[in-house]
Structure 1
Amino acid sequence: MKTTPATRCNWANTDDELMLAYHDSEWGKPNHDSQHLFEMLSLELMQAGLSWKTILHRRSGFQAAFANFDYHQVAKMEEQIPSLLENPAIIRNRRKIDAIINNAQVLVNLEHQGSSFNEYLWNFVANEPIVNSVVTAADVPSSTELAKKISKKMKQDGFKFAGPVVVYSLMQACGMVNDHLNDCIAK
């Protein structure tokens, strides 16, 4: 008996185990853990101008360099910037490293105001994931009006490197938006 191969989103049609695992178990899946959301924001901003595969293959390096994305610790890492800029396990872009530390500081301030990153982000979608009907990869936008609105608010609140494309990628990464193809096994 012949079996039909599993259908996945175009970008996950690969034999790269990390890409497959990320696609199948994380991307588009709702996540409400503020530390994980911070990790995804950090990785998405690091991806700007690069491929997701590049970032994913350095994820463990980022986790080690940025205290497993514990934003309380990352918020205090300004003195470690010189060593981060020499760390070959991460992308050594000063503006992006500064943005990660800055964004951690914003999250700590959010907590002091009685909120969490989870509440902050998920309130934009009334705590309900947006499940899009995606027939082909061409149906997936790089940004939306909602992502532009969130980006504008995030920038007003002090976040850096949080443009609409980064924000939309974050929304996809943490499951605020499900853009899996309709016939994808991970939908």
Structure 2
Amino acid sequence: MSTDIRIGPDEIARCAWVGDDPEYRRYHDEEWGTPLHGDRALFEKMSLEGFQAGLSWITILRKRPRFREVFAGFEPEAVAQFGDADVERLMTDAGIIRNRAKILATISNARLVTDMAPGELDEFMWSFAPAAPRRPRSLAEVPATTPESDAMSKALRGRGFRFVGSTTMYALMQSAGMVDDHVEECWRTAH
């Protein structure tokens, strides 16, 4: 077994980045690399990936229930209505990442999503999924960015979205199943 794989306490081979955290295992097994569609779901992914910038993903996963609670389930129409009082409320909530720039970006991004037609965000984001996905043999083959994530980032920034850099968008592409970076020996490659 390669160092790119870790055998969990349940004796299942997973991508090594999962480690021993039960929530990370659940996320890896049930979400990461699974195709995700829907404007609300993709807005949530975009928002959480933006909050993750500079932090570990497990931090976001642990805080995700509270994020969902205080950001109205990431319903773009509701978040788009947030004002100054909401920003201040969020800045005092220790259950989330209290970064004013990221909070303001999430609200601004929600407003941009509400300006789109229903289903447009989903169609737009999925248009950047690579036509010929590849399976990495090792974690060393998993990139931080790709030409597709560069293009997605540039297009989103061109529309006014914030906290959507190429590395962040590639993480979203992995998380939302636009690419599947489970390494060859991971149990998920058979599903």
TM-score of the aligned structures, taking structure 1 as reference length:
0.91
Task: Report the 3-state secondary structure (helix = DSSP H, G, I; strand = E; otherwise coil) of the residue aligned with 2:123.
Answer: helix
Which of 119, 130, 133 is 1:131 aligned to? 133
Deviations 1:128-166 (A, max 9, x none): 6x5322111111111111101110000001100100001
Residue type of the alignment partner of 1:125: A
* Alignment-derived partner of residue 98 in structure 2: 92
* Alignment-derived partner of residue 59 in structure 2: 54
> In the alignment, is the contact (CA less than 8 A) between 1:110 and 1:117 conserved in 2?
yes
Residue pairs, 1:71-110, within 5 angstroms: 71-79=76-84, 80-110=86-116
* Alignment-derived partner of residue 8 in structure 1: 14
1:41 aligns with 2:46: yes
Task: Report the 3-state secondary structure (helix = DSSP H, G, I; strand = E; otherwise coil) of the residue aligned with 2:13.
Answer: coil
> In the alignment, is the contact (CA less than 8 A) between 2:135 and 2:181 conserved in 1?
yes
Residue type of the alignment partner of 2:19: N
5+ residue gaps, structure 1:
none
Distance (whole Å) between structure 2 residues aligned to residue 13 and residue 134 of structure 1: 19
Residue type of the alignment partner of 1:27: W
Task: Report the 3-state secondary structure (helix = DSSP H, G, I; strand = E; otherwise coil) of the residue aligned with 1:178.
Answer: coil
Residue type of the alignment partner of 1:157: R
Deviation at 1:56, TM superposition (A): 0.6
CA RMSD, aligned part only? 1.6
Distance (whole Å) between structure 2 residues aligned to residue 78 and residue 140 of structure 1: 39
Structure 1 runs of 4+ aligned residues shifted over 6 Å read none
Deviations 1:158-181 (A, max 9, x none): 100100001000111110010011
Task: Report the 3-state secondary structure (helix = DSSP H, G, I; strand = E; otherwise coil) of the residue aligned with 2:29.
Answer: helix
Deviation at 1:5, TM superposition (A): 2.5
Percent of pairs with identical residues = 39
Distance (whole Å) between structure 2 residues aligned to residue 184 and residue 68 of structure 1: 32
Which of 7, 23, 29 is 1:18 aligned to? 23
* Alignment-derived partner of residue 166 in structure 1: 168
